[in-house]
Structure 1
Amino acid sequence: MTTTFPAPASASGPVGTPAAAEQVRGGRAWRGFGLLGPRRGRHELAAEQLELLGLPVGDDGVVIGTDAQGTPAVLGLFRPTPFDVVLVGGAWTAQVLALRTVGMGARVAVESGRQPLWTPLVQGANTGQQSITLHAVGRVPPQGPSVHSPVLVIRDCGVRPPHGRVTVAPWQAVVTLLPYPGPTTERLMTHADVVGVQRVSPDEARQIGRTMNLTPADVEALPGLPDGVTLWCTRSSRTYVTTQPTDPEAGLLGTARRMD
């Protein structure tokens, strides 16, 4: 496809005509565009040919599993705007997310009151450089995120997490891990950009359903979700994603599980 710029007001003919070429021979360049380049055929498609183009759009991010059609499901964590995620589920899924985030070249900071649960992951992932750092609750230092060094902060601070010192920022996403819904869950979900929900009780499913505007079928399905399956949703869209560990992930973290 071709993007065509309008001719300048002083031109007496369209691009490529003798009048336009005369402007160049006279030493005058197009303001803002420089001298005219070589005259070659345009890269154009007819309207009926557009569907033949297969352009990847919106597929940059962390692969968190596969959807119901077996298509890779991608969570675009790193953006020039803040991105906030709430995950009601097990630490296993958050740990897989941490490993895959490191695999795409980003840094991970874990804030947790369950440090023994995260220590093996940190030790196994940090081979040669500090890709994942582990911090006590309220002790996460500023991470200095940038487009060249994005950061994921995982907050594993219980069902009632305190306000964090490090929050969402451009190129710094925050995942708040909740083992089950609590008194602050509705507020956290309301302000989140995307919410992940794993297996919960029927009462918890109804609570989440009201907050996230889930359908009755989704509310009914939540208590029976298998290990490794997460409903990722906003208030207007949703998809079920199955996370299967790779061999290295399984060797470090074991098989998928909802409870830790």
Structure 2
Amino acid sequence: MSQPWPQEGAAAYQQPAPAPRQPGQVTSGRASVPVQRPAPEPADPFVQQQAVAEPVARGLSAPAVTSAPLARPGTYPPERPPDGPPTGPEDGAGGPERTGPSGRVSRLRIGWHAIPRAGLRRVTVAPAAPPGLLLGRDQRQAPVPLRLFAPEPVRVTLVGGVWAAQLLIFRAFSVGVRVVVVTTEPRAWAGFGERATGQQNRLTVIGQEPGGPYGGTAQTPLMTVFDLGMTGPAASPPLGPWHTQLTILRQLDRPGVAAVQEAGLVVLQRLGGDEATLVAAALKLRPQSGQLLQSMNDDMMALIGDGDDRYLFLNQTAIEQQYVGLPRR
């Protein structure tokens, strides 16, 4: 029968209760080693205020805090000097490039566009196009104008067919011209004005020479066309301001030489041998001009007067072909 443990023996096997650990101590094995902690930093009043205000402004986002120095008022974005263009390396002045705190170039401002001075020397101004109605282009593709309308009267004689006259009138419609056609063959002009302009009062066909003098305006010039076959009008009618007379000679013979000589400008389609001889004698052209007038294509014209003699290509558009037709005499 087992004997109960003596009281003093049981006490020998009981482990003593651990002492409570003090703050700042670390228990390691048998002994407690004190640990030195750094003294707490003084409380930051800004952090305390932020912690107190956090429950109130929980739905708001606080601005980012940076250690960069604040810009002085009026220094960002950097302004251009008010009394002159920018002085940076891009304009050849050798000055420093203006940048902001982030190192980027300041934004472009309207009115401060700059160009290098070396580039300014390469800037040229295109010559102004000569005034007048575009008649065609020469062999160098330079435009050849026809000065049909002016404050003073203008007289033009065309040696060619009705097709060439209607092409000139079709182009003149673009500047607002009003046309009166005096013709012995009204069927050749029937419906042309309505088809070309969609109006009935832009071109009028009559059978006798109108009275005068009367004229047009700069906004609405007037053109009187004489289509009488091989001669011009019996008497040169008086013309007013912004008034142009266009005489059509479908075939050039001696009765029509006077109309050629009285005109300030002469427009020619391809001529026959006798026609070229009469024109060369009436206008005192160079000997080689007679050969050139006989060798032109259907889409070419010659412009005599107002300077040098010019030979040009009409460059007819698709719209002109639709309303006037293909080149012919």
TM-score range relative to shorter protein:
0.7 to 0.9
The answer to whether the 8 A contact 2:154-2:245 is kept is yes
* 1:34-183 alignment runs, 5 A limit: 52-56=124-128, 59-128=130-199, 130-139=201-210, 144-163=215-234, 166-183=237-254
The answer to whether the 8 A contact 1:139-1:165 is kept is no
Q: CA RMSD in A?
A: 2.3
Q: Indicate the SS of the match to 2:229.
A: coil
> How far apart are residue 203 of structure 1 and its match?
2.1
The range that moved more, 147-156 or 126-135, is: 126-135
Residue 189 of structure 2 is aligned to residue 189 of structure 1: no
Query: What is the TM-score normalised by the length of structure 2?
Result: 0.58
State the one-letter code of the partner of 1:114. Answer: E
Q: Which segments of 5 or more consecutive residues in structure 1 lack a partner in the other structure?
A: 1-48
Q: Work out the CA distance in 2 between the residues paired with 1:165 and 1:220.
A: 31
Provide closer, same or farther for how the CA distance between residues 172 and 235 of structure 1 changes in structure 2, counting only shifts above 3 A: closer
| 1:211-233 alpha-carbon deviations (Å, 9 max, x no partner) | 11211111112222211211111
The answer to whether the 8 A contact 1:157-1:177 is kept is yes
The answer to whether the 8 A contact 2:267-2:301 is kept is yes
Provide closer, same or farther for how the CA distance between residues 97 and 154 of structure 1 changes in structure 2, counting only shifts above 3 A: same
Provide closer, same or farther for how the CA distance between residues 140 and 116 of structure 1 changes in structure 2, counting only shifts above 3 A: farther
Q: Indicate the SS of the match to 1:148.
A: coil
State the one-letter code of the partner of 1:119. Answer: A
Q: Indicate the SS of the match to 1:184.
A: helix
The answer to whether the 8 A contact 1:153-1:173 is kept is yes
**Equivalent residue, structure 2, for 1:211:** 282
> How far apart are residue 62 of structure 1 and its match?
1.5
- Number of residue pairs aligned between Structure 1 and Structure 2: 208
Q: Kindly name which structure, 1 or 2, has the bigger radius of gyration based on alpha carbons.
A: 2
**Equivalent residue, structure 1, for 2:297:** 226
> How far apart are residue 167 of structure 1 and its match?
4.2
Query: What is the TM-score normalised by the length of structure 1?
Result: 0.72
Provide closer, same or farther for how the CA distance between residues 237 and 168 of structure 1 changes in structure 2, counting only shifts above 3 A: farther
The range that moved more, 143-152 or 169-178, is: 143-152
Q: Indicate the SS of the match to 2:233.
A: coil
> Percent identity of the aligned residues?
26
State the one-letter code of the partner of 2:276. Answer: A
The answer to whether the 8 A contact 1:84-1:168 is kept is no
The answer to whether the 8 A contact 1:138-1:164 is kept is no
The answer to whether the 8 A contact 2:180-2:204 is kept is yes
